[in-house]
């Protein structure tokens, strides 16, 4: 029916952790993105979305996030492959580790960026900008 994808907005010292997706990626190759990935079939499982975002963050950029993961927003879109995707974005609090492109077939570059850098970058798609704006609002209201 559809793919469920999760992404994490990770904030530290007034910057957001952003990746540049590998050019090899089927969807949005070469664009800036949040860290995330597809939810896998794990049978009966609790907190599957939160567990998936934590796993994807560690697999792609090698860092740990804290347990208090908060919902930011959700969207749907048609991937370049033609599949329907439900995308759920979470606000994650950085815990430990030095981020790096752990999975080079998926992640080309990892960097901490300010909101203004993200908003002005030509490789920053509108949906990334919207997710950052919404996550920023959650931090401000905290």
Number of domains in the chain: 1
pLDDT of residue 104: 79
Q: Which domain holds residue 129?
A: 3-141
Question: Between the CA atoms of 141, 51, 115 and 95, what dihedral angle is there, to the nearest 10 degrees?
Answer: 80
How many CB atoms neighbour CB 137 within 10 A? 12
Q: Report pLDDT digits (tens) over 79-91.
A: 878 899 999 999 9
Distance CA 37, CA 52 (A): 8
Instruction: Tell me the pTM.
Output: 0.91
What CATH number does residue 24 fall under? 3.90.79.10
- Asked if the model's pLDDT at residue 133 lies above 80, the reply is yes
Q: Report pLDDT digits (tens) over 74-118.
A: 999 998 788 999 999 999 999 999 999 997 788 889 999 999 999
DSSP secondary structure letter of residue 122: T
Which has the closest alpha carbon to 53: 4, 1, 19, 106?
4
């Amino acid at each position: 029916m559809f793919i469920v994808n999760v992404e994490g907005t990770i904030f530290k010292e007034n910057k957001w952790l952003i990746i540049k997706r590998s050019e090899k990626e089927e969807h949005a190759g070469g664009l800036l993105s949040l860290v995330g990935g597809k939810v896998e079939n794990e049978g009966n499982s609790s907190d599957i979305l939160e567990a998936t975002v934590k796993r994807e963050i560690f697999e792609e950029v090698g860092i740990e996030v804290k347990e208090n993961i908060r919902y930011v927003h959700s969207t749907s879109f048609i991937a370049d492959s033609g599949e329907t995707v439900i995308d759920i974005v979470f606000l994650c609090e950085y815990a430990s580790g030095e981020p790096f492109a752990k999975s080079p077939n998926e992640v080309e570059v990892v960097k901490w960026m300010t909101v203004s850098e993200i908003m002005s970058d030509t490789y920053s798609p509108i949906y990334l900008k919207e997710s950052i704006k919404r996550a920023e609002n959650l931090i401000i209201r905290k």
